[in-house]
Amino acid sequence: MKDKIKIFLDSDLLEKYLLGATTELENLQVERYIAMYPEVRETYDELQDNLEAFAKMHALKTPTGLKEKILARIKSENLGRKRYYRYAVAASFAMLFSVGASYFFWNQNQNLQQENTIVTNKIKTLEADMRQQLEDVRNQFIVLNNPQTKKLNVNGNKKAKELKAVAYINPVKKLSYINVSKLPNLPENQCYQMWAEVNGKMLNLGVIEEATDKNKLMALPYADEAIGYITIEPKGGNNTPTVKNIVANINY
């Protein structure tokens, strides 16, 4: 930066500017340097003082028409400055537009990346769900068609005498399913819920919305000597089974 200022000061632009011998483009350059760099401003002020002192020392009678020339020069310089400010304002707007456009496209790019991430995650979730569903269908097919599958008929107790279900247990593939084919009606504020006790832990298998057909199975967690339960719970299900409302046991 110092080299740049030195090169400028070593030139005769400041002197020519003071004498009015610079072009419009040179005027803009000199005025910009004076405004931006204190060293240039200091040199300019010093040259201006020296020129003023020299002019007073060698003062001559004012030539005819000098006033008009000076006014014309001032008017010309004012027009130059106005033109400069117009350029500066236009450049500022162009820069602001450029920054705004850059931010807009950057923001659009960020939004597209976020949308792409969301879509990618949804696709991955759908793929995982499809794989899970296909795996479940495959397992159901194995359980229903494998000769080693045990078939257990499940009946409800006196609280739900009409309850009918069939449990399918395959100890070789370690798969268990149940088909609830018939459920007695309940009040609107109650529901049936499935549970499984596996290795001493009670697992919530969810609410049984309605009696399913023979082709629809509900997965049961497999374990040696596991026990399944169907209970009557408040509408929406419970976090723990209501023991007094057990209506069916599945020993598998």
* Residue 112 belongs to some domain of the structure: no
Specify whether the CB–CB gap between 193 and 241 falls below 8 A. yes
Please state the three-class secondary structure of 3-30 as a single string.
HHHHHHHHCCHHHHHHCCCCCHHHHHHH
Which of 58, 84, 99 represents a domain boundary (last residue)?
Answer: 99
* Residue 63 belongs to some domain of the structure: yes
* Residue 200 belongs to some domain of the structure: yes
Does residue 204 surpass a pLDDT of 70? yes
Tokens standing for residue 111? 């939004």
Q: In 3D, which of 122, 100, 119 has the Cα closest to residue 111? A: 119
Domain holding 44, by residue range, is: 2-99
What is the pTM for the complete model shown? 0.49
Does residue 142 surpass a pLDDT of 80? no
For the chain, what is the total number of helices (H) and then of strands (E)? Answer: 5, 8
Specify whether the CB–CB gap between 26 and 13 falls below 8 A. yes
* Residue 197 belongs to some domain of the structure: yes
Q: How far, in Å, CA of 152 to CA of 233, rounded?
A: 24
Does residue 109 surpass a pLDDT of 50? yes
Specify whether the CB–CB gap between 13 and 30 falls below 8 A. yes
How many CB atoms are located within 10 Å of the residue 238 CB? 16
* Residue 143 belongs to some domain of the structure: no
237: DSSP letter: -
pLDDT tens for each residue of 146-179: 888 999 999 999 889 899 999 999 888 888 899 8
Report how many domains make up the chain.
Answer: 2
* Residue 180 belongs to some domain of the structure: yes
Mean pLDDT of the chain: 78
Name, in order, each residue with C-beta under 8 angstroms of 221's C-beta and a sequence gap of 6 or more. Answer: 176, 196, 198, 203, 205
247 and 158 within one domain: yes
